[in-house]
Amino acid sequence: MIYQQFFDRVLTRTDPEWVHHRAFGAIRAAEPVLRAAPVPGRPVRALGLTFPNVIGLAAGFDKNAVGIDALGGLGFGHVEIGTVTGLPQPGNPQPRLFRLPADRAILNRMGFNNDGAEVVARRLATRAERVARSARRGPVLGVNIGKSKVVPDDDQAAVEADYELSARLLAPLADYLVVNVSSPNTPGLRNLQAVERLEPLLRHVRRTADDATEASGRRVPLLVKIAPDLADEDVDGVADLAGAIGLDGIIATNTTISRAGLRTDAGVVEAYGAGGVSGRPLTARSCEVLRRLRARVAPDLTLIGVGGITTVEDARERLDAGADLLQGYTAFIYEGPLWARRIAAGVAAVPGRG
């Protein structure tokens, strides 16, 4: 309650991106204290891995792998870093992040701002050495990779080479790897969700990841993240493709380009401009997509539900719809640093839940 009052009265009047950097800095500074706290919830087995609990932090918060273990200390059983691109890039011009408090939502057009795969790989290698010396393993690490903006989306060979660079460098350091083709903030990226474009891309990333990890004898699980704006028949197409090529999982869903049903004044939203909306407005559609996927894919294919999960009841509904794991981001911003612990503990209070 104190956090929400502070958020509504103070933080909503402050630039969101500035607040993000300051808050994340404070979280990283508190890592020694946070990591000493017990992990909430119960372990979950998925993707051939044991997750400390069911709730993870979605990609977008820690784009550059600088605070993985501190975030784990806040109660996240897994942290998905990125989106990381083959080439470093500054992202879209600021301002590019906007709050919609009336909707408990965020509108962003960040544009995959990140340090690039080579720098992030070095950072992850340093962390891996540190974790190997520690008694605490930390959260499961997901690495989310996307297309560099300068690579034309209509050049399939160039797109595959760009994703190959990231997969080659990052797959050996990831517990699982995610191909992001669903952000609305990189021009042309969502065109890659079409099955005829997606299949060769995923096959290429799979081969690259296998080659990169061959020496270790470890197979890195591969997932794809899809948009809530896909038509139902396209969701079915991705589900069928996942089975056909042996994909390990699907993350449903990314942000939406829809502005339907928002409580925020339409003029304000229009003034903010283009971008993807996350948070409460996604709850219904993200759950629909997840339920549709679960009805179509094999029982052993992992589904990660994300989009509009705010309360324990939301989390339980997503699990009932077929999710194996959950992720959040926007609710973490609106609900505060104890949010992941509340979700993990609340879900674990139900017999049979993680």
Residue numbering of the annotated binding site: 59-63, 83, 108-112, 144, 180, 185, 225, 253-255, 279, 308, 329-330
Complete DSSP assignment for 15-68: -HHHHHHHHHHHHHHTHHHHTTSPPPS--EEETTEEESSSEEEPTTSSTTSSSH
Burial of 293-309, coded b for 16+ CB within 10 Å and e otherwise, reads bbebbeeebbbbbbbbb
C-alpha angle 301-78-279 in degrees, rounded to nearest 5: 85
d(CA 278, CA 225): 14
Alpha-carbon dihedral sign for residues 285, 46, 353, 33:
negative
Structure tokens at 93: 């011009």
In 3-state terms, what secondary structure has residue 301?
coil
Of 162, 174, 167, nearest in space to 209 by CA: 167
Per the annotation, binding residues for FMN are 59-63, 83, 144, 180, 225, 253, 279, 308, 329-330
Residues annotated within the binding site for substrate are: 63, 108-112, 180, 185, 254-255
Residues that are catalytic: 183
